[in-house]
């Protein structure tokens, strides 16, 4: 089966005197195995990249989670050591990429940091250190040397009736592995809240007027995509949207 190309965001990290542009393995594996697409890493070089040419070549965009946070300067806040670390090169790449992908109808799946980037790109703001806000629960991972324990499926979220995700999961409650310390505060003007946690924290959004699939989730479906049905479903829905976009593009190319 043909694997359509999907652009994947990268983090900029320093390791052994090199600067690396990289993405965690579990996102790439889920893209290949659950979505059936070919992930292509996009280096975080900001304005040096011709994003229009990139979007001419790919049929989807996936934004990964990360330890870093979106710099608050992008939504009217102030950077601080407590809120960091930041990855300004990633911000400079993903924020314009999101806006252009939505404009062109290229399917978009935004996970964890990705949903926060999606919100900021569309004019929204973020709440930092959610666990310190009165009435909110602690959404951070438990302290453990085991990644399986840290990313265990333990938190219920409620999918809104009639939402895009209701078409994927059905309306009502599902269990997820939401691991984060900041979240959407004020949603961007074009965003629709698709799912919330028990404490009201926004856990999923869609872009209301997007011409293509455009979904963000705060949880981590990539981690259990090989063994958890709900985790796999979001990737399958994304993969289907990517293949549909690829088919339309092939049709237009043939017509020309």
Q: What is the mean pLDDT of residues 236-244?
A: 97
User: Could you tell me if residue 154 is left (phi over 0), alpha (psi between -120 and 50 degrees) or otherwise beta?
Assistant: alpha
Segment 63-81, tens digit of pLDDT: 999 999 999 999 999 999 8
Q: What percent of the chain has pLDDT over 90?
A: 85
User: DSSP code of 32?
Assistant: I
* Helices assigned H by DSSP within the chain: 25-30, 51-57, 88-104, 113-121, 147-150, 166-169, 229-255
Token digits of residue 16 = 């052994």
- 132 catalytic per annotation: no
Catalytic residue, chosen from 139, 180, 220, 245, is 220
What CATH number corresponds to the domain at position 246? 3.40.50.880
Residue 251: predicted pLDDT: 67
Average pLDDT over residues 112-138: 91
**In whole angstroms, what is the distance from residue 27 CA to residue 11 CA?**
13
CA–CA gap between residue 138 and residue 151 (Å, rounded): 14
Q: State residue 245's pLDDT score.
A: 95
Catalytic residue among 112, 139, 194, 245: 112
> Could you tell me the sign of the dihedral formed by the alpha carbons of 93, 98, 101, 104, in that order?
negative
Range of the domain at 136: 5-255
Sequence-separated (6 or more) residues with CB below 8 Å from residue 210: 102, 105, 108, 190
- Average pLDDT of span 94-118: 98
* Whole-prediction pTM: 0.95
Q: Across residues 3-14, what is the average pLDDT?
A: 97
12-25 pLDDT, tens digit each = 999 999 999 999 99
Find out whether 219 and 179 touch, Cβ atoms under 8 Å: yes
Q: Which two tokens stand for residue 79?
A: 């950077």
Note the Cα 170 to chain centre separation in Å.
20
Question: Is residue 220 among the annotated active site residues?
Answer: yes
3-class secondary-structure state, position 234 = helix
Q: Are strands 155-159 and 61-63 parallel, antiparallel or unpaired?
A: unpaired
Q: Which of 149, 222, 229, 245 is catalytic?
A: 222
Residue 222 designated active-site: yes
> What domain count does the chain have?
1
DSSP-based three-state secondary structure for 102: helix
Torsions phi, psi for 204 (to 5 deg)? -160, 150
From CA 124, how far away is CA 109, in angstroms rounded?
18
């Amino acid at each position: 089966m043909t694997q359509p190309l999907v652009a994947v965001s990268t983090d900029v990290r320093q390791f052994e005197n090199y600067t690396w542009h990289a993405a965690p393995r579990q996102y790439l594996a889920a893209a290949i195995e659950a979505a059936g697409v070919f992930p292509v890493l996009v280096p975080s070089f900001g304005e040096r990249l011709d994003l229009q040419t990139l979007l001419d070549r790919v049929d989807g965009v996936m934004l990964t989670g990360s330890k870093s946070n979106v710099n608050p300067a992008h939504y009217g806040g102030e950077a601080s050591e407590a809120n960091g670390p930041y990855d300004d090169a990633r911000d400079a790449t993903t924020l314009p990429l999101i806006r252009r992908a939505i404009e062109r109808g290229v399917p978009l799946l935004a996970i964890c940091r990705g949903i926060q980037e999606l919100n900021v790109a569309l004019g929204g703001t973020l709440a930092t250190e959610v666990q310190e806000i009165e009435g909110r629960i602690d959404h951070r991972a438990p302290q453990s040397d085991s990644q399986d324990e840290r990313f265990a499926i333990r938190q219920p979220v409620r999918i809104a009736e009639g939402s895009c995700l209701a078409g994927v999961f059905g309306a009502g409650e599902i269990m997820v592995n939401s691991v984060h310390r900041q979240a959407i505060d004020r949603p961007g003007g074009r965003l629709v809240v698709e799912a919330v946690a028990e404490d009201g924290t926004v856990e999923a959004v869609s872009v209301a007027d997007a011409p293509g699939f455009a979904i963000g989730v705060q949880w981590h479906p990539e981690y259990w995509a090989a063994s958890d049905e709900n985790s796999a479903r979001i990737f399958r829905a994304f993969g289907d949207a990517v293949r549909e976009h690829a088919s339309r593009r092939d049709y237009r190319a043939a017509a020309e």
